[in-house]
């Protein structure tokens, strides 16, 4: 698995840093997490850099299966519709899924009325809530019929106090008015496991935990040979059947743990979701956590539901991540080393991301390739 970080700035581009957007390249295709302004251009530019460096980690937009959004702020969503349009111009045929959070109550009302045209005047819905953006994108041509490839639009109702693994999701086909309950998001990720982690921001938000399924242990043929097993006996063991004196388990080598990444999106440092996540048995190889502010601006961080670098580090420790990557830096901060030196107080393996960084996760090994 590699994570390509295509933007590390919060709110607006600054100091050569672009706004949010990451590409998670898994063994089952690409998942994009957030898609701020200019995302598709950054994708192309990044690939050129990788090509010039003869990197083996180049990425192809045709391999994108799923786009996950963490919340509706425009520095995370403005590049989505142009990307969908370009994929159409590229002649895309295979389906694509967009999954994004909204208020629980919006999902409930859509389900109750069996229509996307619900009344929301009596609830406090932000203009940039993903529900509102979906309506806009559909009216601007973001539909299966206009793009000529199938787009699955999924809304996930979230709340900061949700339990991990609670899923309140629907899939919407806007032109046909079809609305379906979604019970398993991995149907839309080519089998990659994804879990939404409740976060705490000024609009409905969640982080995304993404994991390649662990590989089953191989059959230990050397051990079979030592025990003089016949081809028939080996076949039975491989099929999970017992044979005289041996069980299949005895011949299975240890399963190979595959990598996982958690991308926080925008969140206040102290939030119930990370605490709940730390009580699950989900392991996280790499945590990519926002660190908008330094400790000196911790009041600002609290007021606007963002994190300081130190808070990001505390969350990395809390969930037992192996590596912390901090991102989403305020334009007030020119030198991101200031942030990592604060984070290191609480968590040693920290790296302040640069645009175009490629985080390579292979088994237990994590490498960071930077292209200054
Ligand atoms: Zn943001
Ligand atoms: Zn935000």
Domain regions of the chain by residue span: 2-215+256-369, 221-251
Segment 119-126 mean pLDDT: 95
Cα 326 to ligand 2 centre (Å): 15
Residue 173's pLDDT is: 93
Q: What is the CATH number of domain 2-215+256-369?
A: 3.60.15.10
The pairing of strands 178-182 and 193-198 is: unpaired
Cβ-Cβ contacts under 8 Å for 296 (sequence gap 6 or more) = none
Residues 186/192, Cβ–Cβ less than 8 Å: yes
Least distant ligand from the CA of 21: 1
pLDDT, tens digit (0-9, with 9 covering 90-100), for 286-307: 999 999 999 999 999 999 999 9
3-class state of residue 215 by DSSP? strand
Residue 214's pLDDT is: 87
Cα 75 to ligand 1 centre (Å): 5
Estimate to the nearest angstrom the gap between the alpha carbon of 166 and the chain centroid: 17
pLDDT, tens digit (0-9, with 9 covering 90-100), for 164-214: 999 999 999 998 889 999 999 999 999 999 999 999 999 999 999 999 998
Cα 242 to ligand 2 centre (Å): 55
Residue 225's pLDDT is: 92
Cα 188 to ligand 2 centre (Å): 25
Cα 209 to ligand 2 centre (Å): 18
Q: How confident is the model at residue 135 (pLDDT cuts 50, 70, 90)?
A: very high
Give per-residue burial for 93-103: e unless 16+ CB within 10 Å, then b. Answer: eeebbbbbbbb
Q: Which residues surround ligand 1, an ion (CB under 5 A)?
A: 10, 73, 75, 266
pLDDT, tens digit (0-9, with 9 covering 90-100), for 53-72: 999 999 999 999 999 999 99
% of residues, the chain, pLDDT over 70 = 100
CA dihedral sign, ordered 157, 328, 208, 97: positive
Residue 175's pLDDT is: 86
Least distant ligand from the CA of 205: 2
């Amino acid at each position: 698995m590699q994570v390509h970080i295509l933007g590390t700035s919060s709110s607006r581009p600054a100091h050569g840093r672009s706004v949010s957007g990451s590409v998670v390249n898994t063994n089952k295709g690409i998942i994009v997490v957030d898609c701020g302004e200019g995302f598709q251009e950054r994708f192309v530019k990044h690939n050129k850099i990788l090509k010039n460096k003869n990197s083996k980690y180049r990425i192809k937009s045709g391999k994108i299966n799923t786009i996950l959004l963490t919340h509706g702020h425009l520095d995370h969503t403005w590049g989505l519709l142009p990307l969908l349009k370009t994929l159409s111009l590229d002649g895309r045929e295979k389906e694509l899924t967009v999954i994004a959070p909204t208020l629980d109550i919006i999902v409930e009302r859509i389900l109750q009325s069996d229509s996307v045209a619900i009344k929301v005047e009596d609830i406090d819905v932000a203009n940039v809530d993903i529900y509102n953006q979906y309506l806009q994108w559909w009216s601007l041509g973001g539909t299966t019929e206009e793009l000529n490839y199938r787009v699955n639009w999924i809304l996930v109702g979230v709340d900061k106090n949700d339990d991990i693994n609670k899923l309140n999701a629907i899939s919407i086909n806007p032109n046909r008015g079809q609305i379906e309950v979604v019970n398993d998001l991995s149907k839309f990720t080519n089998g990659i496991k994804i879990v939404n982690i409740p976060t705490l921001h000024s609009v409905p938000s969640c982080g995304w935990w993404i994991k390649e399924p662990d590989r089953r242990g191989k059959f230990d043929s050397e051990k079979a040979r030592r025990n003089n097993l016949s081809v028939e006996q080996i076949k039975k063991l491989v099929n999970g059947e017992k044979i005289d004196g041996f069980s299949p388990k005895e011949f299975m080598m240890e399963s190979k743990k595959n990598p996982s990444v958690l991308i926080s999106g925008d969140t206040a440092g102290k939030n119930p979701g990370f605490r709940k996540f730390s009580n699950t048995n989900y392991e996280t190889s790499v945590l990519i956590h926002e660190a908008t502010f330094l400790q000196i601006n911790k009041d600002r961080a609290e007021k606007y539901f963002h994190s300081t670098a130190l808070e990001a580090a505390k969350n990395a420790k809390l969930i037992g991540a192996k590596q912390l990557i901090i991102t989403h830096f305020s334009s007030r901060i020119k030198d991101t080393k200031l942030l990592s030196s604060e984070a290191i107080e609480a968590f040693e393996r920290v790296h302040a991301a640069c645009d175009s960084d490629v985080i390579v996760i292979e088994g237990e090994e994590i490498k960071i390739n930077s292209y200054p």
